[in-house]
Structure 1
């Protein structure tokens, strides 16, 4: 098992919907993944938030996290992420504190702003909150998790209130920020919170971002070290190379199709150029994952995990365990990761 001082391994429940699956089946699979992860030695479970996309059927990270906290007893449950500028930051803080109290301190709040998609038009107060709302929303959330909070700005204005139920026995709920750019690295560092780094980052990129975080933290008067940064990785256990490739290609294909469904409100740079052929993107994602992520035999997966942790400097790992889509295969994958891979990875990491 991981400890608060060692590397923590978590199951990342994406609630990814594959062809022929109903939303209810996908959500039930996610609950089962969380329970199996707890039984087999994972330390954490993380959940996502997606809106208006058939591929991701969970529109409320906080609600799903609360349900999973009620269905588990030991694992910590976190959001990766709650799309903070879409929601009232004070209400997010209140809900986070509530989950922490109810679970005995097992909740962690991961936040970010995601893409400038139609969600900001339908659920939020406009794309302006995507453009410049995250820093203030983060500040209000951090303040509200500690005690009284008020605001008087162009984006947020309200009199002082004291959010309830307030900090838990162990203090305010831990917060982490999704970081994809120099600006988000600096924001996390200046507020003294760790980063969540996602699948598109290589080992060297993650290490460089953590070094930047230390630099910016020092400039802001925050501690430069001691942060438990987290990273997301694809994870699938199999001795069959053909199966590994097939699983990754299918997952990459679903990712590409989901990306094409984004309803962007702004023309912003994308990680993948719009004119890149889909098959080229799928092949590139597949080869990258097969080369560096924990996909393959138990020994290969354990070695890749150790390499990623040592090379990046991250001490928390979010493993996307639902790549296969098929419930039986996913269940087997989670069990094998927990029982065969994680003990080996922990031994390699000492």
Structure 2
């Protein structure tokens, strides 16, 4: 198992400089590289303050030039919003720019607010994702594409760009469409799962649904590679824990608004309103992995034993959390949490290799 840092880049104060946000993200990625995080992921969202990053590949290329060891990638590319021939070339270019450090996450998207503004039907997203995935695989693995599908057709085309990696992969895939789940397992890709503020119990429920989907298709769930994303904040302060919970609640309110048929915005700022039947702030704190080092290690160990992931993506700066809070939490994570976690579950490089390795 390896670790990631997820960079959503949410804007809570519209007066905050976007340049400052990029500089903060850069400093956090450099810190992540220093403490041994394996990959920096960048989100893709459009036309709202939920994220000011419309291009994860641009952010990854920017960070590739400022780092030397950490992998950089998109979590995730919303494939229906791209022309597949262009995104395939840009992924190859990122791998060249980073000297083989590119990672690729794929997703079908879910925000009608974004799809409407690109003129793409949300109803077609699964079909489009599967076709565009074909194109991306052909280009990255063979250097040429010829395709005849429902949503995309192209005569045989050879590319001048080839990635440094002989075979970029595995892909990290989000989505609950049964065919996407099936293909993820069959292709050896990683099922990338996050449950938002539902936390560990939510992750377990998602994993169980994915396994049931695979069983219905006569696929052994044990063959599935899993990656999980979780909110992490390490603090001994009860007050700071609640402040982190407030940041998580802010994300949850924005996501809920973006899942509505019409997202209410003031310009580009999503109107923040409480979720229907919203739980108290303490529930956000308790669902997520927020607390002292021992608490964080114990909760993470529970997830590792239950899910055996090959990748654990840490969402450190969520809900526009102040930079100093995030930096301090990351320092505590590396210094205090990781050693405790290894005492709980053993060497982390054995996690994600199969149930036998986890139990040994």
TM-score range, shorter chain: 0.7 to 0.9
Counterpart-to-counterpart distance in 1, 2:119 and 2:168 = 26
Structure 2 partner of 1:53: 48
Structure 2 partner of 1:202: 202
- The offset of 1:216, in angstroms, is 7.2
Counterpart-to-counterpart distance in 2, 1:118 and 1:40 = 37
Q: How does the TM-score come out when normalised to structure 2?
A: 0.81
Is this contact kept in 2: 1:178–1:195, CA < 8 A?
A: yes
- The offset of 1:170, in angstroms, is 3.6
1:1-350 counterparts in 2 under 5 A? 7-19=1-13, 20-123=15-118, 125-127=120-122, 129-130=124-125, 132-147=127-142, 148-200=144-196, 202-209=202-209, 211-212=211-212, 215=215, 219=219, 228-257=225-254, 259-260=256-257, 264=261, 278=275, 280-281=277-278, 283=280, 287=283, 289-323=284-318, 325-350=321-346
* Mean CA deviation greater in 67-76 or 201-210: 201-210
Q: What does the per-residue CA deviation read over 1:2-47, in whole Å, with 9 as the maximum and x for residues that have no partner? A: xxxxx21111111111225232222221111111111112122111
Structure 1 partner of 2:356: none
Is this contact kept in 1: 2:104–2:171, CA < 8 A?
A: yes
Q: 1:131 to 1:308 in 2, by over 3 A?
A: closer
Counterpart-to-counterpart distance in 2, 1:114 and 1:130 = 7
Q: Give the secondary structure class of the aligned counterpart of 1:108.
A: strand
Is this contact kept in 1: 2:95–2:165, CA < 8 A?
A: no
- The offset of 1:318, in angstroms, is 1.0
- The offset of 1:214, in angstroms, is 6.0
Structure 2 partner of 1:4: none
Q: 1:279 to 1:127 in 2, by over 3 A?
A: closer
Counterpart-to-counterpart distance in 2, 1:11 and 1:26 = 16
- Provide the aligned C-alpha RMSD in A: 2.8
- The offset of 1:310, in angstroms, is 1.3
Counterpart-to-counterpart distance in 2, 1:125 and 1:203 = 29
Is this contact kept in 1: 2:113–2:258, CA < 8 A?
A: no
* Mean CA deviation greater in 171-180 or 307-316: 171-180
Counterpart-to-counterpart distance in 2, 1:216 and 1:69 = 41
- The offset of 1:51, in angstroms, is 0.1
Counterpart-to-counterpart distance in 1, 2:215 and 2:236 = 42
Counterpart-to-counterpart distance in 2, 1:168 and 1:23 = 32
Q: 1:169 to 1:256 in 2, by over 3 A?
A: closer
Counterpart-to-counterpart distance in 2, 1:156 and 1:79 = 22
- The offset of 1:162, in angstroms, is 1.9
- The size of the alignment, in residue pairs, is 330
Counterpart-to-counterpart distance in 1, 2:260 and 2:182 = 28
Q: What does the per-residue CA deviation read over 1:224-267, in whole Å, with 9 as the maximum and x for residues that have no partner? A: 7565421110011111223212321232124303542567489x
Q: 1:282 to 1:97 in 2, by over 3 A?
A: farther
